[in-house]
Amino acid sequence: MPAHLLPGQSQLSTEDANSSRIVTKSRWIVEARNGHLRSGFKFLAHSLNIQNAKKLNSYYLIAGAILNRYHPIILMQDATVELAREMIDRSNMPNVVQARIEVDNLTRRTGDQALIDFPVLDLEYLSDLTVGTYQVNLASSYIQDKLIRDNDEQFQIDENLEEPGFLRIRVYSRFRNATKHQVFIAYIAHDAENREDHDENVENSRILVGQYY
């Protein structure tokens, strides 16, 4: 089961958050097929009265048999044992960005808005970083939500001028209208004056050191 916030806890620890992400990744196939059941059989998409609830198991067996016979097979591209092991290994890595934020109490500090030297991240890199395209596909809805709530086309980005390669962004919560989260990202600083030269070196110009939110 995904982790839950304890009383007085404002956000999950890195360990609990990563554990919940592993659960979400593992349950994707279950939720996908459940979506097919609810969209293909409207009867199963709504609340049932007590008389029909007694036969719910039979209804699901019949609907499942129809889907197995006529619905295309769900293919999870690149879903391999090696990928699963990599996800587990990543989830167990210590979050050095979180440690830095907690030690220096950076959540309460103000930052300087400046032209940042953030590296170029292509879709292939982002898909590898998030182990899939689900989060990448959500990016457009995050931006649209931000534009609607702030009525502003600019993101507030605070850069730590004393330490190149460290920034903070404030974004709205997907689940609470009045809540904003602070997202911290550590990255390898990009030389804006020699951007083309840096872009030739993918290892140096497109690496995120870590993130915490």
pLDDT tens digits, the chain, 213 residues: what are they? Answer: 777 778 877 777 778 888 888 888 788 888 888 999 999 998 888 888 888 888 889 999 999 999 999 998 887 777 788 888 888 888 888 777 777 777 666 666 665 555 567 777 888 888 888 877 777 888 888 778 777 877 776 667 777 656 677 788 877 777 676 677 778 888 887 655 554 554 444 444 447 777 776
Flag whether the pTM goes above 0.75.
Answer: no
* Helix, strand or coil, per DSSP, at residue 74: coil
pLDDT in tens, 135-169: 788 888 877 877 787 777 666 777 765 667 778 88
Say which residue the tokens 């390669």 belong to. 165
Angle at the Cα of 149 (from 148 to 154), degrees rounded to 5? 80
**Distance from CA of residue 10 to its chain's centroid?**
18
Cα–Cα distance measured from residue 50 to residue 88, given in angstroms and rounded to the nearest whole number: 42
CA 106 – CA 111 distance, rounded (Å): 9
State the pLDDT at residue 63: 94
